[in-house]
Amino acid sequence: MATIPLDLDGYTDLPPGLIANVVTYLKLNDRSAGRVASLPEGLAVRRLEAPDLAAYRDLYRRIGERWLWFSRAVMSDGELMAQLSRAGAEILFLERSGEALGLAELQHSEDRREMEIAMFGVVDTESGTGAARGLMSDVLDRAFGGGAERVWLHTCHFDHPAALPFYRRMGFRPWKFAIEVSRDPRLDGFLPREAGPHVPLIDPAEGRDEPSKG
């Protein structure tokens, strides 16, 4: 993969077609430090016994397309199936009357002492209802009840603006930053061009206006 020098004390211009994302990692080491919340009436958490790619893709899109979630969208069916069925993977759907409204994609370490929440979210209609709190509380109960000693996740500015405050309210604490650079998925048709309006779409085919010098 091509690399470019990174200025650690200033700006670094990206090649055309690339986007950058600041990532915050958070962790929780003790269930007692995490918030406990019940699911709102009518909601239930269902563990998928086997990956359902069509259902997963639909829910992933409904939750994250507007925020420019793309890591699973750019995967082929084979790649996504391998991701969702690898050892230690667990997929939870938050449902009401059979309709999927929330997602938690989990990845347990081989010894089950650590668990990553690889994907987490609820659809817009459930935002602010307590659905996300209930789902996260259920996830933490499963993790620490199964012997986990640390649960971790990451969020970024390609996510709901309430995500970071939500995770902190649930008990998670930030522990490192990272920068993710990737090809803009909208340019290759993996997401609609209008997805992620908070991240401007800069199409290299349309050229770039450089500031005048002088």
Q: What is the pLDDT of residue 3?
A: 84
Convert the pLDDT of each residue in 56-113 to its tens digit: 999 999 999 999 999 999 999 999 999 999 999 999 999 999 999 999 999 999 999 9
Mean pLDDT for the stretch of residues 13-30:
96
Q: What is the pLDDT of residue 174?
A: 98
Q: What is the pLDDT of residue 208?
A: 59
Q: What is the pLDDT of residue 212?
A: 56
The candidate with the shortest Cα–Cα distance to 63, out of 135, 144, 114, 14, is 135
Q: Which CATH architecture has domain 19-191?
A: 3-Layer(aba) Sandwich (3.40)
- Higher pLDDT pick, 23 / 208: 23
pLDDT(209) > 80: no
Convert the pLDDT of each residue in 149-184 to its tens digit: 999 999 999 999 999 999 999 999 999 999 999 999
Q: What is the pLDDT of residue 4?
A: 86
Strands (E), 29-87: 43-47
| Residue spans per domain, the chain | 19-191
Q: Per residue in 147-159, is it b (16+ CB within 10 Å) or e — as a string?
A: ebeebbbbbbbbb
pLDDT(35) > 90: yes
Q: What is the pLDDT of residue 159?
A: 95
Name the average pLDDT for the chain: 94
CB-CB contact of 51 with 140 (8 Å): no
68 — phi, psi (to 5°)? Answer: 75, 35
pLDDT(214) > 70: no
Can you tell me the distance from the alpha carbon of 87 to that of 26, in angstroms, rounded to the nearest whole number? 23
Can you tell me the distance from the alpha carbon of 175 to that of 167, in angstroms, rounded to the nearest whole number? 13
